[in-house]
Amino acid sequence: MENVKGKTAFVTGGASGIGLGIARALAAHGMNTVIADSRQDALDEAMVYFGKANLRVHPLKLDVTDRAAYTRAADETEALFGKIHVLVNNAGVAVGGPVQFTSFKDWDFGVGINIMGVINGIVIILPRILKHGEEGHIVTTSSTAGITAVGMNAIYNTTKFAVAGLMETLATDLQGTKVGASVFCPGPVASNLGKSTQANRPEHLKNDGPPAWRPPPPPSGSGNRPPLFDTSLFMTPEEVGERVLRGIMRQDLFIFTHPEFKEGVRVRNEALLRAFPDEPDNVKRHELLARFGTLIYNPIYEKQTTPGPLNG
Ligand code: NAI
């Protein structure tokens, strides 16, 4: 999708943090951009910026778990801009904690937004993109927690692995069409994720009583919060927004931002390879599976190139 100018993008969670950074990059490159978000205050704040910048951005209040409202939002976008070309499934919440302390309400909350919200976007908007026949693209924000498991992060890891697999499958199934698919896996980015996770948790999915688990306090005597929480060192939404734009234009399957996570992915992939038995133990089965070809060997992975420096 080299030429995005004049095309239309629909960005969920687009009023804050990473989604806002992506919306800014897309709108600045001439795209009509809908920012869809569940928080009206965040939408209003974002529109102050977009109004001053005089960009073609339209705010929509939307909870991505509400399918009827999502359909109406897609209709409204088409009525306003004609066609939707790019869907950015970015709305997400951070539900942390070790798996043994999770409740059904925690799972329903995290899975509902981080997985079902993404599926809703694909089921509602992909047919519209395919129908108009012009170039299009779908990006879903996963995380580095979607490619290596991080401790004490059960629901988040699970949902982010799920959408990574979904986007790899989508990219495979969309081969031969004019629509591409990417999974975006950023490391730490300055955003409002903690605050907005609380704001987006509906009453009926709140746990009763005190939390079953709290994050461990910083090491005693350190005086300060641990370095991970020095958000001044986090990447900015604008930086990662530009990277996502570039990923869309290059049709990258994987859009990554933080080289620091490369070693963790290498170690995980090596563990996967070590886990296979060395030799096939049944010649006939081996011959049968070898005939499966691309069913067990997917060529989409070979197309991935190296994006170069973040600001290059
Ligand atoms: P953010 O909280 O600043 O932005 C997320 C936006 O999504 C918020 O405005 C929120 O209101 C909206 N949202 C949440 N639930 C929604 C729903 N049901 N319907 C519509 N909108 C909803 O947080 P951030 O960090 O920008 O998060 C964006 C995405 O990036 C999330 O999917 C998150 O998991 C992912 N991510 C964030 C990282 C970070 O370090 N900030 C790292 C890796 C991934």
Per-residue pLDDT averaged across 3-11, rounded? 97
pLDDT at 49 over 70: yes
Ligand 1 centroid–CA 10 distance in Å is 15
For residue 98, give the amino acid letter.
P
Beta bridge partners of 11: 35, 88
Is the CB of residue 129 below 6 angstroms from any atom belonging to ligand 1? no
Ligand 1 centroid–CA 111 distance in Å is 14
Ligand 1 centroid–CA 312 distance in Å is 26
pLDDT digits (tens, 9 = 90+) for 154-190: 999 999 999 999 999 999 999 999 999 999 999 999 9
pLDDT at 127 over 60: yes
Question: Contact, 11 vs 55, CB < 8 A?
Answer: no
pLDDT at 215: 81
pLDDT at 238 over 90: yes
For the chain, the average pLDDT equals: 94
pLDDT at 310 over 70: no
